[in-house]
Amino acid sequence: MSKIVKLVIGLAIVAGIAVVTNPSPERHRDQIKSQLSERSTLSKVLLVGPLTAFASNYHTLGVMSYTTVNERTVSIGAFGVVVVLDKGED
């Protein structure tokens, strides 16, 4: 088998794993709730995490996904992992 065929097969396997493990909207919202609530006591008292999670819009690109609130990216996810972005990140 040539190197190109092996590379294509390997990429197809990685892409398939990415599609299967793409985080769901619920996974994104759960991570947003927990991360934003942990950042400060005031955020926890004002329910910033749950409100942001509720207002977020889920978008998927098949192999990865992200959520936005007011055109700002709040979280990104791939391979089963969700990362909640800080204010300064986009």
Domain count, the chain: 1
Whole-number pLDDT of residue 89: 52
Span 26-50, average pLDDT: 91
Domain-located, residue 79? yes
Is 90 within the bounds of a domain?
Answer: no
pLDDT of residue 20: 96
Q: Please indicate, yes or no, if residue 66 is contained in any of the structural domains.
A: yes
Is residue 12 situated within a structural domain?
A: yes
Distances (CA, A) of 46 to 42, 43, 50, 83, 84: 6, 5, 9, 22, 18
The pLDDT confidence band at residue 21, using thresholds 50, 70 and 90, is: very high
Residue 40's domain spans which residues?
3-84
Closest CA to 13 of 79, 68, 75: 79
Residue 25 maps to a domain: yes
Say what the pLDDT of residue 39 is: 86
Quick check: is 89 in a domain? no
Question: In this structure, what token pair is assigned to residue 52?
Answer: 């942001």
Among candidates 24, 32, 83, which has minimal Cα distance to 56?
Answer: 32
Distances (CA, A) of 23 to 19, 20, 28: 9, 9, 7
Residue 41 pLDDT level (bands cut at 50, 70, 90): confident
Average pLDDT, the chain: 92
